[in-house]
Amino acid sequence: MKAYPLKFEPIYKQRIWGGRKLQEVFNKELPAGEKIGESWELADLPDDKSVIANGELAGQTLASAIEKYPKEITGDENFSLPFPLLIKFLDAEDILSVQVHPDRQTCERMGQGEPKTECWYIISAEENAVIYKGLKKGVSKERLAEAIRQDSVAKILPEVYVRAGECHFLPAGTVHSIGAGLLIAEIQTPSDTTYRLFDWNRVDDDGKSRELHIEEALESIHYDMPAEELYVATVGRLVDCEYFKVDKDHQAENCKALLSPGKMKTLIFISGSGRIRSAETEPVVFEAGDCILVPALFEGAIRFADDTRYLTVTINNSN
């Protein structure tokens, strides 16, 4: 196989808090009449595996393609699956539950779940939109448990006003929630383990409350999380954690960049359009809302429209 940039079929997830913004902003073909909260752009979980949408590998999952061509795609003949990233777009028309994801040590201690560290890049934000991250200073496990019993969790959550262009880092063990009116690109480790501790007393269309996971959440939270670990970045290197790096780029008019062989990377296009060319493969056209995996052995050039903004994600601890 001659390495070429890979595009994927999105995996849509209906959510009680979702909307239709992914169709309005990115022209995605959402299922009719459903509140779509998440579009999984790159995934390799047991029940959700990204399918390649272009070129000679079209119709194959990312995992099966890597099994056949590990060196060409990843640069590592012994690359270990599952693929160590999960990339999504989130449309929060309503507020999300207050939740936490466990770290590896908690998963091992509890004998369940998969660890999850993530970051949120704010694509668009309505006026006065907020997120919640961490707990107010001095909140202990006992105080949080009491707040849950008294239905006063919101009072101990720091409310953070956000703007487009910000990236918020959320290591495993961080209590968090996304407020209404936000469109977000989420980069994370490959886990769907979520423990809800509060859901704003909401019910679904059938009048039922969603399941909470109080005991698991209380055991997973880092109550002494240093504030500097919950940083926000807006330019250049946005995140550099043990699992992945995220960089923010903006291309000026008629800009052209070279893609040299070496390290596999994933490009998340926030705005604009363009195409990726090489001497040996068909050009790959992209637009806002696309997520493209550039194989390690691909060599070519990428040309951007003047309004193109994108994120580059690379895996840490890989060749």
Query: Backbone phi, then psi, for 163, in 5-degree steps?
Result: -135, 160
- Give the H or E element holding residue 245: strand 244-250
Catalytic, 104? Answer no
One-letter amino acid of 11: I
| 272 Cβ neighbours under 8 A, 6+ residues apart | 251, 287, 288, 304, 305, 306, 307, 308, 309, 310
Q: Name all contacts of 31-37 with Cβ < 8 Å and 24+ positions apart.
A: 35/93, 36/12, 36/91, 37/13, 37/90, 37/91, 37/92, 37/93
Q: Which residue has the tokens 């061509």?
A: 69
Q: Which residues pair with 191 in a beta bridge?
A: none
Which tokens belong to 10? 């999105």
Catalytic option among 196, 202, 237, 277: 196
Residues belonging to the active site: 196
